[in-house]
Structure 1
Amino acid sequence: MMTRRQMQSLMSAFGLMVGTRALAADSPFHGRWTGVLAAGAVRLTLRLEIDAKGATLFSVDQGNARIPASRVAIEDERIKLAFAAIKATFEGVLTDDHHIDGTFTQGAPLPLRFTRGEVAEATPEPVYPPLTRELLNDKRLAAYTPGMAAAWSRGTQTEIFAAGARSSEDEIAVQMEDQWHWGSITKSMTATLCARLVDAAAIKWTTKVGEVLDERGSPVPAAYRDATLLHLLSHRAGLQPNLDGINAVFYSRDPLPDPRAERRKWALAALKQKPVGPVGAQNVYANNGYIIAGAMLEQLSGKSWETLIQTELFTPLGITSAGFGAPGRPGQMDQPLGHAVNGHKRKPMPVGPGLPTDNPVALGPAGRVHMSMADMLLYLRAHRDRPASLLKPESWDALHTPHFGDEYALGWVVRPDGALWHNGSNTMWYGEVLVDAKAGTVAAACANDAAPDTMTAVGSVLMSARAAAGSL
C-alpha cells in the first residue's frame, strides 16, 4: 500500500527537473499512455508520456502533477523507468501495440497496466472478505508485523480486533483498548478544530497567513502572504512539504510545557523556504501547511494547539485516550511500541526522554496524535453523522469538499464513491481510516511498523473491515 506521504509525494514533484536518457526516434513506446494504480482504498489515474527526449509521469487525479523520469532504459519490448523525485520505479512489457503491463514500485510493488491513449481500461474494484480476527492475524503474520488492530462501526454497532504483540521482542499481546499512533490522520482532526473555531468566529477560512503571522519588521514573505487557511488545509499554499532534515533536528521531540514558541519558529522557517509554485496553483502535500495553520490558531487564541484540540474536539466527542507522540510510559510495556524496519526484522523503539520515537513536537497539527481504536471510531462516526452539536452543516460541508478541483478535501481524500479516506505514518507506525456516510459505515486499521508489506496489509485489512460493516 502506498502511504499517504508516498502517495502525496506524487504531488510534491511539481517543478522538479531531472535528466533522462534520450530514446530512439522510432521507439514503439513513444506516445501517451494511461493507467489506474489501485492502492487499497485509493485509485490513482496515471498518465505516461514518452518521446525521443525521455519520459514524464502525470498524476491526473492530483492536479496533474508532473514527474519527469530520472532514468529510462528500453530493451526490445521491455521498459524500465525510475522517478527519483518520488523514489518510484516502473518496469513493464509491451504486450501489444496498445498495452504495457508491469509493476509500479513506491515502497510496495503494485501491478499497473498502461493503455495507449487518454483513457485507461476499466479495472474492477477488488473484492475483500469480511474482517475476522483470523484474517487480521493472517495478514499480520504474512507482513511480519509485530502488532495490528482494526475496527469498524455501522450505526451504533462496533467491532474491534487486535492481534500480535506490543513489541517484537516481548510476548505481551496487543489489547483491544491499546493506543495506536495515527500519523497524518491527525490532519483531518486539525481541520475539524479549525472548523470549530470558524464557527466560533475566531478565524475564517479566508484568513490570510500574513494577517496573522506578520512580525514587526519581519513580514511574511510575499509568496505566502495571501495564502488562506483554506489553502493551507488543502495543500495549496505553495509550501515545501517539510523543513530540510538539517533544520528539523533543532526541534524538540520530548514533550514541551508550551509548544507554541517552537511551532511558531517552525512555521516562520517554513515561510522562508522557496515556494514550489504559486498559491492555489498546485496540490503539494505539505506538513508545513498544517503546522502553519496550527500556529495561526495559537496566535489568535493564545492557547496551544494541544490544548485547543483537547478542549474543542476530543472532550466534546468523549474521546479520553488521545495524546501526542508515541503512546506508552517510559520503561513500561503498557502500550504497543513503534518499530523501525530492516527487511523482515522489526526493531522496537522504546519511548522516553531523548529517544526518537516520533516527529518533533512542532509537527503536532500535521501528525502526532495517538488514541485507541474505540476512540478513533468515535471520531470517525462524528464525520459520518455530522452532529450539529459539534459543527454547523456548512462547516461539515467545508471539511468534506475538495475546494480546488482535485480529490483532496480538508484532511481527507475523497474517493470516487464519495467515501473519505486518509492514512498516516511517522515511519514507525502505519494506519488508515475510512468514512462511508452513504453506507453508514466507518473503518480503521493500524500496525506498529511501517514496512511496505505492512502498508499493503493494513490497506487490505481496512477494506475487509469496511466489508464486514457493510455485510450487516
Structure 2
Amino acid sequence: MTSWNEELLPATRRALLHRTATAQRDGRTPSMVAGVLRDGRIGWSGGRSGVDGHEPDSDTQYRIGSITKTFTAVLVLRLRDEGLLDLDEQVEKHLPGSGVGGVSIRQLLGHGAGLTAETPSPWWERTPGETRPDLAAVLGEQPFRHPAGLRHHYSNPGYTVLGSLVEAVRGDSWEAVLQREILEPLGMRRTSVEPRAPHAGGWAVHPWADVMLPEPSHDLGLMAPAGQLWSTVGDLLTFAGFLAEGDDRVLSAASVQEMRAPSVPLESGDWEGTYGLGLQVVRRGGRTLFGHSGSLPGFLACLWVCAEDDVAAVVLTNATSGPPITEVAQDLVRIVAEAEPRIPEPWRPLPEVDQDLLALTGPWYWGTQRYVVKLLDDRGLELAPLAGTGRGATFRAEQDGGWTGLSGYHAGERLRIVRNDDGSVAHLDLGSFVFTREPYDPVAAIPGGVDPEGWRGLAR
C-alpha cells in the first residue's frame, strides 16, 4: 500500500503533466508551469513552453497579480492579532483623510466596502505607478459604487488603502514589512516586487493567429499591495502550505482559517463561490477550495488549496488571456485527490478521560427532539441530532467549565451544565435551550412548563 508520504505514483504524475501540457497547447500560451503540494511538500511540478529546450520550472518567476492581495491581507491580520487594530474599526482611525469615510477594515479585506473596482483613468495596470502619487489619485472624486457592507464588489483601490494602512501602523514601507514578516520567515526567497532572473516575460497572443507581442511591465507604486508581486511555483506552494496550516511565526492556524469565512452576503445564484478576508472560496465537485487568482498584462496566476484532501495546486503562465488556469489548478487538485486519496490517521482512544465529562455523553432531548452528546479531544463536546435534521455543533471547552459553539447555528453560543443542589446534573443550557435526559423532563426547569398530567394516549 502506498503511504501518504511517498512520492506521487507515475500515473498520477503523468496525468498532472498531461493536464498542464493540454492547457498550454489549447490555451495558446507561451509557457506554463504548475505544481502540486501534498502533505506539506511538493509532490510534483512541471512546465511546458513553446520554445524547445526552455521549459520553465518551479524556480522560474512569473508575475502573480492579485494573489498579492492575500499577502496584504495576512499583514493586516497580523496587526489585528498584535492588538494594534480592530477589523471593525473605521479605516479613518489609522488613515485620517484617506477619503473612505466610515468604511471598516474588515469591509476592505472582503471587498464589501462598496469602493470602485478600478482607479480613475488611465488604466492602472498599464501605466506607471507615479501616475497615482497618493490615495486621492487612486480613489478619485467618487470612490463609492455601493453602500458599505451590502454586497461584494471587488476593489483594487480597496487593497491599495489596506497597503497604506499597513505602512501607517508599522511605520515602514509595505515592501519592507512584507519581506520581514512573511517572505523571510517562510523562506520565500524567490518572491519579490521586481522580477529576478530566471523570470518569464509577459506576452499578448493574437486571438485569431499564432503570433505574439510583448506586454509592458510597470512598477505599480501605491497600487503594489493589490497586484505587484512576482513569484514562483515553489514559493507559492510554500505559501499555500502556510494558508492551509498557519505558522505562528507569521499567522496562527486560527487566523488563517478565519480568512476563509465568508465576509459579505452572497448574491442570488452565486452560491458556488464567496470571498473571505483576502481569500476566494469556491465549491467544485464536492470539494471546498480556497486561494486566489491573479492577472496583469502578460500574466495569469492562480493558487488553490483543498484542506480536506491536504492538496494544493499552483499554475502560472505568461499570457494576458487564453488558458483557463483557475480550472486547470482545480483539476490538478482533483487528479491527486481522486488518484491517491488521503490515508486517514488511525483511530486512537483519548489519552485520558474526565469521568464527569464521560457521564455527559449519550442521549439528550430538546423537547422531544433526540440528540446525542459525544466527548472529543481537549475536553470538547459534539452535539448532534440522532435522526433527521437538527442544529448540531461542536464546542470548545473554556476555562470557566463551560463550552463555546464553533459551528452552525450555535457558533459563539455558550453551553453550560446546570446542577441540582446535590451537585448532580439537572440539564444542559445552550443559549437558553434546555437539554434534558428525558423528553420534557418534569423535574427540569423547562421554559413554558410541562402539563402536570404528563404523557397520555388518545382518549376514546
Tell me the TM-score range normalised by the shorter chain: 0.5 to 0.7
Asked if the contact 1:160/1:374 (under 8 Å) is kept, the reply is no
Asked if the contact 1:267/1:288 (under 8 Å) is kept, the reply is no
Deviation of 1:209 after TM superposition, in Å, equals 1.9
For residue 97 of structure 1, what is the aligned residue in structure 2?
A: none
Deviation of 1:198 after TM superposition, in Å, equals 1.5
Deviation of 1:359 after TM superposition, in Å, equals 6.0
Q: Matched residues, percent identical?
A: 22
Alignment CA distance shift 1:220-1:382 (3 Å): closer
Asked if the contact 1:149/1:160 (under 8 Å) is kept, the reply is no
**Match of 2:282, as an amino acid?**
R
Unaligned runs of 5+ in 2: 1-11, 267-273, 341-460
Deviation of 1:358 after TM superposition, in Å, equals 3.9
Match of 2:275, SS state, is: coil
Cα-to-partner distance string for 1:405-426 (whole Å, 9 max, x where unaligned): 3311012121234320321100
Asked if the contact 1:322/1:369 (under 8 Å) is kept, the reply is yes
In terms of fraction of residues, the more strand-rich structure is 1
Match of 1:213, SS state, is: coil
Q: Residue 272 of structure 1: which of 114, 118, 141 is its match?
A: 141
For residue 292 of structure 1, what is the aligned residue in structure 2?
A: 161
Matched residues in 2 for 1:140 and 1:269: separation? 35
Deviation of 1:393 after TM superposition, in Å, equals 4.3
For residue 410 of structure 1, what is the aligned residue in structure 2?
A: 277
Deviation of 1:177 after TM superposition, in Å, equals 1.6
2:193 equivalent to 1:324:
yes
For residue 73 of structure 2, what is the aligned residue in structure 1?
A: 191
Matched residues in 1 for 2:108 and 2:64: separation? 20
Cα-to-partner distance string for 1:110-159 (whole Å, 9 max, x where unaligned): xxxxxxxxxxxxxxxxxx99743243223212222110011111113423
**Match of 1:412, as an amino acid?**
L
Q: Residue 349 of structure 1: which of 197, 211, 214 is its match?
A: 214
Aligned runs of 1:278-427 on 2, under 5 Å? 278-325=147-194, 327-328=195-196, 334-343=198-207, 344-349=209-214, 356-358=216-218, 360-406=220-266, 407-416=274-283, 417-427=287-297
Instruction: Please identify, of 170-179 and 292-301, the stretch whose mean Cα deviation from structure 2 is larger.
Output: 170-179
Deviation of 1:246 after TM superposition, in Å, equals 3.1
Match of 1:415, SS state, is: strand
2:298 equivalent to 1:428:
yes
Unaligned runs of 5+ in 1: 1-127, 255-261, 351-355
Asked if the contact 1:131/1:467 (under 8 Å) is kept, the reply is no
- Please provide the CA RMSD for this pair: 2.8
Matched residues in 1 for 2:227 and 2:300: separation? 12
Alignment CA distance shift 1:235-1:204 (3 Å): same
2:12 equivalent to 1:136:
no
Matched residues in 2 for 1:201 and 1:130: separation? 48
Alignment CA distance shift 1:397-1:162 (3 Å): closer
Asked if the contact 1:235/1:284 (under 8 Å) is kept, the reply is yes
For residue 105 of structure 2, what is the aligned residue in structure 1?
A: 229
Alignment CA distance shift 1:396-1:328 (3 Å): closer
Matched residues in 2 for 1:202 and 1:346: separation? 52
Deviation of 1:388 after TM superposition, in Å, equals 3.4
Deviation of 1:169 after TM superposition, in Å, equals 7.6
Alignment CA distance shift 1:143-1:316 (3 Å): same
Asked if the contact 1:419/1:436 (under 8 Å) is kept, the reply is yes
Matched residues in 1 for 2:233 and 2:98: separation? 40
Matched residues in 2 for 1:432 and 1:249: separation? 18
Cα-to-partner distance string for 1:225-281 (whole Å, 9 max, x where unaligned): 211111111111111111122384996359xxxxxxx87703564163241011112
Q: Residue 34 of structure 2: which of 150, 155, 158 is its match?
A: 150
Match of 1:242, SS state, is: coil
Cα-to-partner distance string for 1:48-81 (whole Å, 9 max, x where unaligned): xxxxxxxxxxxxxxxxxxxxxxxxxxxxxxxxxx
Matched residues in 1 for 2:133 and 2:169: separation? 12
For residue 312 of structure 2, what is the aligned residue in structure 1?
A: 442
Cα-to-partner distance string for 1:193-237 (whole Å, 9 max, x where unaligned): 1111222223321232221222xxxx444xx32111111111111
Larger Rg: 2
Matched residues in 2 for 1:310 and 1:361: separation? 17
Which structure carries more relative contact order (alpha carbon 8 Å, separation 6+)? 1
Alignment CA distance shift 1:209-1:415 (3 Å): same
